[in-house]
Amino acid sequence: MAVRVVISGASGGLGLALARYYLGQGAMVGVFARRADCLQDLFKQFPRQVFCYPLDVRDSTAVQAAAQSFIARAGVPDIVIANAGISVGTLTEYAEDIDVFQQVMDINMSGVLKTFQPFLIPMRETGQGLLVGIASVAGFRGLPGAGAYSASKAALIAYMESLRVELRGSGMRAVTICPGYIKTPMTAVNPYPMPFILSADEAARRIARVIASGKSFAVVPWQMGLVGRVLKLLPNWLYDFVFSRAPRKPRKLL
């Protein structure tokens, strides 16, 4: 039987690359995304394998309906990848950034919860399955000018750890993946060097290997894992000195 995979944030970037990877492996794939046109392109290429659901992961009612539809049409998924996310610069001194901050948290953190929730009980009943949260190395320490993004990814890392322990003994597993830089429209605006940057397709291949490996936590690429460990070990005075001078991601109202 073909593997069944659900992926959120599949209209572009890493999410679309993951969808294409699994479809290329013959999987049955449910894709959640806000941009319906991109989903239609996938459907035209893989009409018998892909199930398209245009939705916003902040809308729990829409996600619940999509989950029920996918299970009815394709069966209980083997893998659910909560990938939907946004990255935008924020600064606390601007009142208009309060709403932006909330939107980043709602999509990057609460959107993961809303993506997993309707699948968890059906997957638990089968005694198997993977819930994969796409976090970020940015969650290791607070990046100046990106407080919302760093906070959302730090929260997601902690949430995934809680979920991992909760699922122990159920046959299911929670997997946390922290990508470094990936070539997407989201990173194209970054005004600073991005070491070890990967194409979306290469990142998708590596992430799929991690998912299949049985690991519960991984940084992709592994070199960024070393960078992350160094950042976490830096004393506050040195971290503050270095990063207070670093370029910052541009602000943008959503």
Cite the active site residues.
149
Residues in Cβ contact with 183 at an 8 Å cutoff, skipping those fewer than 6 apart? 197, 198, 199, 200
Is the sign of the CA dihedral 36, 38, 43, 49 positive or negative? negative
Please state, in angstroms and rounded to a whole number, the distance separating the CA atoms of residues 216 and 175: 4
Is the sign of the CA dihedral 195, 201, 204, 209 positive or negative? negative
Nearest to 150 by CA among 123, 176, 178, 126: 178
Nearest to 249 by CA among 188, 177, 179, 195: 188
Q: Where are the alpha helices (DSSP H) in 46-169?
A: 60-74, 97-105, 111-126, 147-166
